[in-house]
Structure 1
Amino acid sequence: MAVYKGKLLDGRLVAVKILNASKGNGEEFINEVASISRTSHVNVVAFLGFCLEGGKRALIYELMPNGSLEKFIYGENPLKNGGHLGLEKLYQIAIGIARGLEYLHHGCKTPILHFDIKPHNILLDEEFCPKISDFGLAKLCTTKESIVSMAGARGTIGYIAPEVFSRNFGGVSHKSDVYSYGMMVLEMVGGRRNVNVAVDHSSEIYFPHWIYKRLEQDEDLGLHGDMTTEEGEITRKMILVGLWCIQTDPSQRPSMSKVVEMLEGDIEGLEIPPKPYLSSPSRPLLDSSITSTDFLDYVSAIKP
């Protein structure tokens, strides 16, 4: 897949995504057109059209000048590298993404499960308003469906919910997107990937467990140096919401409507969730899209 900057005849700048003709016999193209053409929301990227000629497939979107969220949250000092982006802006971005997902799950006439929520698929406009993009793995649901059927796993390792890989963890539903969202929010507030192979201590490799231990023991979160009281509350709120979202049992995760309420509500109303049961990954498999059976290599064990 390649993305190019283009210009329409009326002068509008657009992003043109060229899909690999051999990938999935056009399934990704069909998924994206079928799902995103049904959407209209400030936090979902606007779909302008498509081209289909022989084996060539192209999707046309509004241009997002600031690119993906990914480049603003990783690195030694992402908050400074991101220029305008501080904790308050990241917090507003997290709320915007939550609203976009809430719309996909409950606001569309035909609900949409995205299945690939991650920083790379969140685009930022000129005002850093976040927009959910890349619906190649999305699935349309009937309004009566709460649990959906799927032939195999789909998503990106590091963000994929356990039940998407194995139904032993529960049914696949909109709560699977909630899990991916929670993993992403933890990376946003932590300023690092949830699996950090660069640290010296194995206890610090898996960020969700490391930060949960600090919350549990009421230790300093130690993420961004000196923070104002407001920044400290934002940090704690995003961590608590992220940890609720990545609960191993899908039924314990909040809906995206509840996530918006939690993020916009009072910090005193947020309790520390149960510790997620998934253990640290046995080996680093970062940002690797899967469609079948790699998840058990990513997760070393399930702790009772």
Structure 2
Amino acid sequence: MNYAEIMKIGFVLNWNAHGCSNCQRSGGRCGYDNNEFVCFCRDGPHAKTCHDGVISAAIVISLTFVIMCVIRSEKLSIKFFSNMTKSDKDIEGFIRSYGHLHVKRFRFSGIKQMTISFKQKLGRGGYGDVYKGKLLDGRLVAVKLLNESKGNGEEFINEVASISRTSHINVVTLVGFCLEGSKRALVYEFMSNGSLEKFIYNENPMQTTPQLEWKELLQIAKGIAEGLHDLHRGCNTRILHFDIKPHNILLDKDFCPKISDFGLAKLCERKESIISMEDARGTIGYIALEVSNRNFGGVSYKSDVCSYGMMILEMVGGRRNIKVGVTNTSEIYFPHWIYKHLEQGCDLRLLHGVVTAEEDEIA
């Protein structure tokens, strides 16, 4: 056979190239270069298909875009952080250092939506107004909108740090919070019966809210005590409330009491018996003497117990510790008032209309 003649005439050569069909579907022609498969395309040879270059370019463009966004985000973050007040920075620093919180962080637009632009006001606290709201899943909540001008953010940190450390049935549940610069809000579970103070004072003869029976008062007193015990001894970190009073005890639909408003709370190690405090905190009439004056001793969890005791006296007596509009100091301060009644031989248990032996035992 004359191979030279055959070469001059030419011949057809067929072979099976791996991946050739993919190359052809992408608009290319199969070939070889240095014994390596190559897909010849309009813009040049590619390793497998004509789309390789497009994909590579897309990847490069995407990575470039992502890098630019990250750089821009960092610049915006730095700019935003530099414009923040020291209070805002402290709070953001706390949120970051605290790690994963078991509560949701809401945007302020979400806060406005759940409260229908703060339509229904439930009451006013020491650090802001409280509004009724509803979550997307239908749950009712109470939203405390913190005052922008009051405090340095400590009350916000106290609330989040304290309540998120416990899940006791007698401590109000924190559902979430909002922190957008000076806009701060706290979202709690909704307590349909409001605060305890509505049910224990009988100062207004036109009052329509019924007073609680002795059994209910006893269960509420026990519940608050159990909640305080959990704060003081049930957590790894001891939580001192410093503002136990009827206004800060909320009641759910079954009159189960919940300790709320941790704006003045202080966290300390469980082994610490005496804690240091720079300033007095609490509400007049409930503050333990050592909190307002160090000459009476050191401040400890027992200071909460003193406030709790004053609240129990109010529940028994059916009147406020501090009575506004009374000029006689012996009638203003509740212990003086109690002492006066005991001196006169009055039975305090009759103030709530004790009539049966069982109620007498409870009282």
TM-score by length of 2: 0.60
Match of 2:173 in 1: 46
Match of 2:195 in 1: 68
Match of 2:355 in 1: 227
| Aligned counterparts of 1:226 and 1:139: Cα–Cα separation in 2 | 39
Deviation at 1:179? Answer: 0.8
Letter in 1 for 2:212: L
Match of 2:144 in 1: 17
Match of 1:160 in 2: 287
Deviation at 1:220? Answer: 2.7
Instruction: Mark the CA change 1:14 to 1:226 in structure 2 (over 3 Å): closer, same or farther.
Output: closer
- Contact 2:129–2:144 at 8 Å: present in 1 too? yes
How do 1:279-298 residues align onto structure 2 when only pairs under 5 Å count? none
How do 1:134-145 residues align onto structure 2 when only pairs under 5 Å count? 134-145=261-272
- Contact 2:170–2:259 at 8 Å: present in 1 too? yes
How do 1:91-106 residues align onto structure 2 when only pairs under 5 Å count? 91-106=218-233
CA RMSD of superposed structures (Å) = 2.2
Match of 1:300 in 2: none
Deviation at 1:206? Answer: 3.2
- Contact 1:69–1:122 at 8 Å: present in 2 too? yes
Deviation at 1:158? Answer: 0.9
Gaps of 5+ in 1: 236-304
- Contact 1:42–1:131 at 8 Å: present in 2 too? yes
Match of 1:107 in 2: 234
Deviation at 1:205? Answer: 4.1
- Contact 1:72–1:81 at 8 Å: present in 2 too? no
> Is 1:122 paired with 2:249?
yes
| Aligned counterparts of 2:264 and 2:295: Cα–Cα separation in 1 | 22
Question: In structure 2, the residue corresponding to 1:230 is in which secondary structure?
Answer: helix
Q: 1:21-50 deviations in whole A, cap 9, x for unaligned?
A: 222221111111111111110100011111
| Aligned counterparts of 1:226 and 1:176: Cα–Cα separation in 2 | 31
Instruction: Mark the CA change 1:186 to 1:226 in structure 2 (over 3 Å): closer, same or farther.
Output: closer
Match of 1:190 in 2: 317
Deviation at 1:74? Answer: 1.6
148, 153, 174: which one aligns with 1:26? 153
Q: 1:67-95 deviations in whole A, cap 9, x for unaligned?
A: 001111123379x8443721221111111
Letter in 2 for 1:228: T
Q: 1:151-184 deviations in whole A, cap 9, x for unaligned?
A: 1001011111110111100000001101111111
Question: In structure 1, the residue corresponding to 2:272 is in which secondary structure?
Answer: coil
Q: 1:82-109 deviations in whole A, cap 9, x for unaligned?
A: 4372122111111110110011001111
Match of 2:36 in 1: none
- Contact 2:134–2:140 at 8 Å: present in 1 too? yes
Letter in 2 for 1:45: V
Question: In structure 2, the residue corresponding to 1:171 is in which secondary structure?
Answer: coil
Instruction: Mark the CA change 1:217 to 1:148 in structure 2 (over 3 Å): closer, same or farther.
Output: same
Deviation at 1:211? Answer: 2.4
Deviation at 1:129? Answer: 0.4
| Aligned counterparts of 1:172 and 1:202: Cα–Cα separation in 2 | 26
- Contact 2:200–2:212 at 8 Å: present in 1 too? no
Question: In structure 1, the residue corresponding to 2:136 is in which secondary structure?
Answer: coil
Match of 2:49 in 1: none
Gaps of 5+ in 2: 1-127
Instruction: Mark the CA change 1:225 to 1:201 in structure 2 (over 3 Å): closer, same or farther.
Output: farther
Question: In structure 2, the residue corresponding to 1:172 is in which secondary structure?
Answer: coil
Task: Look at both structures and tell me which one has the larger radius of gyration over its CA atoms.
Answer: 2
Letter in 1 for 2:263: G
Deviation at 1:201? Answer: 6.8
Letter in 1 for 2:165: R
Instruction: Mark the CA change 1:87 to 1:201 in structure 2 (over 3 Å): closer, same or farther.
Output: farther
> Is 1:181 paired with 2:308?
yes
| Aligned counterparts of 1:29 and 1:202: Cα–Cα separation in 2 | 36
Question: In structure 2, the residue corresponding to 1:57 is in which secondary structure?
Answer: strand
